[in-house]
Amino acid sequence: MPIKIIYLDDEEALCKIFSQYYGSDQVNIKTFVDANEAIKFCQVNPPDLFFIDYRLSGITGDDVAFAVEESIPKILVTGDISFTSKYNFHQVISKPFDFNKVQKLINHYL
């Protein structure tokens, strides 16, 4: 049974690359550029791991994190240099990130 991962980022290219890089038999990737759609999807299909970009159009990663089930492990991805999050994320990854390191992180949840 592959694990389900959601990647939310309003940068479409990143969504694409994320799927191509990590998508495999063991890892099922679903990406969203629209936060609300991602939230709705989560309510029906809670993922095993949720990557959330912080700066989204009209909403922040924090807001999204608060809006979905608390038990879903969440990883914040951000391009900002300094920021404080109100949500207690499992992990925070700074852009640009090393795809190999993130691979290891994903492997950790396998």
Partner 1 sequence: MTTNTGKLDDFEKLFNMALDMLCIAGTDGYFKVINPSFSRILGYNNGVLLENPFLEFIHPDDIEETIHEIEKLKDGINTVKFHNRYRRIDGTYRFISWSASVDPENGLLYCVARDVTEEKENASHLIQIQNVLNNETIVAMTDIRGTIIEVNDKFCDISGYRRDELIGQNHRILNSGNHPKEFFVDMWKTISSGKPWTGMIENRKKNGEHYFVQSIITPILDIQGKISNYLAIRFDTTKHIHIKQELKKTLSILNETGQIAKVGGWELDVKSDDLTWTDETFNILEVEKQANRKPILPEGLNLFTPTSKSIIENAVQRAIEFGEPYSLELEALTAKGNIIWIYTNGKANYENGEIVTISGTIQDINSRKIAEKQFEQERQKSIRNAKLASLGELAAGIAHEINNPLTIINGYAQLMTKQLNEPEKLNENIDEILKSCDRISRIVKSLKKFSRTSDQTNLSPHQLGGIVREAITLTDAKANRNLISITFSCNANGLIICDEIEIEQVIVNLINNAIDANKNNVEKWIKISTYETETDIFLIVTDSGSGISSDTIDRIFDPFFTTKKTGEGTGLGLSITKGILDDHNAIITVDEDSPNTCFKIQFTKYAENIYAY
Instruction: Kindly list the residues in this chain that would bind partner 1 in the complex (CB under 8 A).
Output: 11, 13-14, 16-18, 20-21, 55, 57-59, 78-82, 94-100
Contact in structure between 78 and 54 (CB atoms under 8 Å): yes
Residue 2 burial (CB count, 10 A): 13
Looking at beta carbons only, is 44 or 96 nearer to partner 1?
96
Looking at beta carbons only, is 48 or 63 nearer to partner 1?
63
Looking at beta carbons only, is 21 or 87 nearer to partner 1?
21
Contact in structure between 5 and 31 (CB atoms under 8 Å): no
